[in-house]
Structure 1
Amino acid sequence: MNILIAMDSFKGSVSSLEAGTAVKQGIEDAGLVAEATILPVADGGEGTVEAFIDQTQGQLKSAEVTGPFGEKVQAVYGIEGKKVILEVAATSGITMVPKNKLDPWLATSYGLGELIKQLVEEGYREFIIGLGGSATNDAGFGMLQALGYRFKTKNGKVANRDICEMKHIEIVDDTQVLPELKSCRFVIASDVINPLCGNKGATAVFGPQKGVKETEVKEIDQLLAHFAQVTADYLKEDFAGKEGAGAAGGLGFAILAYLKGVIEPGFQLLAKEKNLAEEVAKADLLITGEGRLDAQSVMGKVPSALAKMAQDKPLIVLAGSVSEDVGQCNKHGIDAFFPIIRQIASEEETLKKETTIESIRQTAEQLFRFYQKMK
């Protein structure tokens, strides 16, 4: 029996590889004789770098950059040949910040720009950037400043990286931008199709989870709209309405407009790079999972994307938690799902790495003990 274990990360808890390893251990502890292959997957969020680098000749590296609130953080990235794999979750990720400390007015993408600049100066020209899990809502304002862009008032005053500065800017000064950026290729790994502004934009849809209060949505959205208009005047093209411009608090907009990036759905991009279809074809059973399974999981996230590839092969999902509407997943190729939480505990205790790993292992073990009985 061939089992393909293709787990996504459990955000803020365990990586894709750690989750997959726990599943495999559970299968072995159940006494099942099977060929179990672990293939980490991701959709552009946390764990994207590790998933791309796994089972390649690539390397994981790290660099010190500015975190979402100005603190110094060690951002992990991947190098595979001449290609760089980055993820916003490593430079300005929402899991880096306690929920009560989230502040959309101050959170910055500056660290992502610092990391890109460093790597460009080292000679790299091809970038894949996962845009999931961002704590920022700055439309890439900080990232662009780290890359050398200066945004000025009509009187020539240079704006700082706080988003409240956007309302004053009228001029884009690119005289200090790295000239090598023009020869770089940027691919965005993201499943988000939202535009930058409006009722379906970055602030209205994703802002609340980043600390945007209901009373602030309109004001922040207007700031981003002004930034987009200044950008359109500068580039002679409007990128605010492009699909994916609203990804990662508008980072999609900045990369599309200023870095001439292209967007590809995160899971599909990874699947192509890792020849995932071949692994699925060899498998008799597929196991996947993520931190939370809900009705939105059928909208291009890892479980539903894998279900489309699996077609008539059985697919099981192990999830950190599930929502009331999760039953809809059964209508989209997910044959069965199992929440792994085993006892009532605080969120902090539940999300501990060792707790999550053991919960995944035990769930997999019990599942395959039962499976062997039913054979």
Structure 2
Amino acid sequence: MAPSGLKESLSASAAADAIAEGLLRAAPGSHIDLLPLVDGGEGTAEALAATAGGRLVHRTATGPVGSPVPTHFALLNGTAVVEMAAVAGLSLVPPGQRDPGATTTYGVGELIAAALDTGVRRILVGCGDSGTSDGGAGALQALGARLLDADGRDLPPGGAALRRLHRIDARRLDPRLAEAEVLVACNPFNVLCGPRGVARVFGPQKGAGPALVEELSTALDHWAGVLARDLAPAGIDLRTGAGTGASGGLGAGLAAVGARLLPRFDVLLDHVDLDARLARADLVVTAEGALDRQSSRGKIPGEVARRAKALGIPVLALAGTLGEGAHEVRLIGVDAWSGILPAPVGLPEALARGGEFLADAAERALRMVLLGSRMARPAVRP
């Protein structure tokens, strides 16, 4: 069982438990290896702390809408793991306040500073499940950079304000950043600007209408230009470089102060020995909230299927919804896929009953697998 979490419904661990419950109803004697996976989003710090024998450090920081929120980062083996979703995630933005033109990553910068306060000089920033589209501007402000308009005034929070950015004053930027190794675990397919820029691809999911999507696209393009001129090392492509659009552009903001943007699974799956555990399986079951065209572009089911296919292991994917292009996961190694909802239900009910629906769907799917295996046997005729 190698699922991701189902956003705003189940953590990866809860999803794995639900799938196991359903499968054991259909095949009580099965041996099940539970391997909940994180992609840098919700639950990353907690999962890595548990896997690597680390610990969580609890703090209060600025949330995405500006109010203080309880949050945390992990410490393990000389590395701090800062999970951006724990302080600027979409789940921390009340539905009535989902305005990605105004939300901020300020708390991410506060957590990075808090991690540096512990003495570590290696920080892993997990990107995913963000509720922001500010290009990492808030994080840089928390770390001491001043973002100034043409009149020398500090910009307010949010990505929409970046269209008024005139220059960046980095004289008070935390000097410890220059001495630290900052690694950003991100989806390399997410870029900051252009036709597939983060505002256009993910802005609507965070509450942006068509007009705001275009406003944010323009603002982030301007942000990339000022970052490159005033702050970033020479030669870095902040507009279309791999991972620059991670978490609403946080990748670009951190890259401008020397962070390295790395494919998230290259960083995160080192801790769980995924390939060896896949090799022992007869069937792999993965899951996520929505199976669609994005699933094959840096999402957990796509990565699990790609690795399982190389080993010749069949893969079943379960999803809260089946979106446009869901069938394309077949090309990367998913052999069968299914939605988990038994009937049309409202979103609040679907989120609240996610565990129940996922367990039932897993049972239904495995019963179909078992039926097919019996039909494949040579018939014995009298």
- State the alpha-carbon separation in 1 of the partners of residues 159 and 326 from structure 2: 37
Shift, 1:181, TM fit: 1.4
- Which deviations, in whole Å up to 9, do the C-alpha atoms of 1:248-302 show, x marking residues without a partner? 22111111111x1122222332222322111112222211111111232122321
2:337 maps to a residue whose letter is F
Shift, 1:127, TM fit: 1.8
Contact kept in structure 2, 1:42 and 1:266, CA below 8 Å: no
Query: Counterpart of 1:223?
Result: 219
Kindly indicate whether structure 1 or structure 2 has the higher relative contact order, using CA contacts under 8 Å at least 6 residues apart. 1
Instruction: From the superposition, tell whether residues 174 and 336 of structure 1 become closer, same or farther in structure 2 (CA, over 3 Å).
Output: same
Query: Is the deviation greater in 113-122 or in 149-158?
Result: 149-158
- State the alpha-carbon separation in 1 of the partners of residues 46 and 285 from structure 2: 19
Contact kept in structure 2, 1:271 and 1:277, CA below 8 Å: no
1:245 maps to a residue whose letter is T
Query: Counterpart of 2:252?
Result: 253
Aligned: 1:205 with 2:220:
no
Instruction: From the superposition, tell whether residues 180 and 314 of structure 1 become closer, same or farther in structure 2 (CA, over 3 Å).
Output: same
SS at match of 2:39: coil
Query: Counterpart of 1:56?
Result: 52
Contact kept in structure 2, 1:64 and 1:74, CA below 8 Å: yes
Contact kept in structure 2, 1:49 and 1:78, CA below 8 Å: yes
- State the alpha-carbon separation in 2 of the partners of residues 169 and 328 from structure 1: 41
Shift, 1:100, TM fit: 4.0
Aligned: 1:103 with 2:102:
no
Query: Counterpart of 1:297?
Result: 295
Structure 2: any 5+ residue segments left out of the alignment? 375-382
The 5 Å alignment of 1:261-300 reads 261-300=259-298
Instruction: From the superposition, tell whether residues 344 and 222 of structure 1 become closer, same or farther in structure 2 (CA, over 3 Å).
Output: closer
Shift, 1:358, TM fit: 1.5
SS at match of 1:351: helix
The 5 Å alignment of 1:64-75 reads 64-75=60-71
Shift, 1:321, TM fit: 1.7
Query: Counterpart of 2:379?
Result: none
1:180 maps to a residue whose letter is R
- State the alpha-carbon separation in 2 of the partners of residues 25 and 165 from structure 1: 48
Query: Counterpart of 1:343?
Result: 343
- Which deviations, in whole Å up to 9, do the C-alpha atoms of 1:132-189 show, x marking residues without a partner? 1211111111111111111234554333334454344434323322221112112212
For normalisation by structure 2, the TM-score amounts to 0.88
Query: Is the deviation greater in 266-275 or in 310-319?
Result: 266-275
- State the alpha-carbon separation in 1 of the partners of residues 127 and 215 from structure 2: 24
Contact kept in structure 1, 2:288 and 2:319, CA below 8 Å: yes
For normalisation by structure 1, the TM-score amounts to 0.90
Aligned: 1:367 with 2:365:
yes
1:318 maps to a residue whose letter is L
SS at match of 1:36: coil
- State the alpha-carbon separation in 1 of the partners of residues 153 and 66 from structure 2: 22
Instruction: From the superposition, tell whether residues 180 and 293 of structure 1 become closer, same or farther in structure 2 (CA, over 3 Å).
Output: same
Shift, 1:120, TM fit: 0.7
- State the alpha-carbon separation in 2 of the partners of residues 335 and 161 from structure 1: 45
Instruction: From the superposition, tell whether residues 233 and 115 of structure 1 become closer, same or farther in structure 2 (CA, over 3 Å).
Output: same
- State the alpha-carbon separation in 1 of the partners of residues 16 and 191 from structure 2: 34
- State the alpha-carbon separation in 2 of the partners of residues 163 and 371 from structure 1: 48
Instruction: From the superposition, tell whether residues 248 and 123 of structure 1 become closer, same or farther in structure 2 (CA, over 3 Å).
Output: same
2:273 maps to a residue whose letter is N
Contact kept in structure 2, 1:8 and 1:47, CA below 8 Å: no
Which of 173, 178, 192 matches 1:177?
Answer: 173
Query: Counterpart of 1:307?
Result: 305
- State the alpha-carbon separation in 2 of the partners of residues 212 and 74 from structure 1: 26
Structure 1: any 5+ residue segments left out of the alignment? none
- State the alpha-carbon separation in 1 of the partners of residues 361 and 163 from structure 2: 52
Query: Counterpart of 2:143?
Result: 147
Instruction: From the superposition, tell whether residues 213 and 273 of structure 1 become closer, same or farther in structure 2 (CA, over 3 Å).
Output: same
- State the alpha-carbon separation in 2 of the partners of residues 23 and 298 from structure 1: 21
Query: Counterpart of 1:28?
Result: 24
1:296 maps to a residue whose letter is Q
SS at match of 2:14: helix
- State the alpha-carbon separation in 2 of the partners of residues 332 and 344 from structure 1: 29
Shift, 1:76, TM fit: 3.6
Query: Counterpart of 2:116?
Result: 120
Contact kept in structure 1, 2:188 and 2:262, CA below 8 Å: no
Contact kept in structure 2, 1:65 and 1:72, CA below 8 Å: yes
- Which deviations, in whole Å up to 9, do the C-alpha atoms of 1:49-82 show, x marking residues without a partner? 3443343312234321111111221224322221
- State the alpha-carbon separation in 2 of the partners of residues 300 and 168 from structure 1: 33
Query: Is the deviation greater in 355-364 or in 6-15?
Result: 355-364
RMSD: 2.3
Query: Counterpart of 1:136?
Result: 132
Give aligned pairs, total. Answer: 368
- Which deviations, in whole Å up to 9, do the C-alpha atoms of 1:324-373 show, x marking residues without a partner? 53223223311111221123321101101xx1112222222343445555
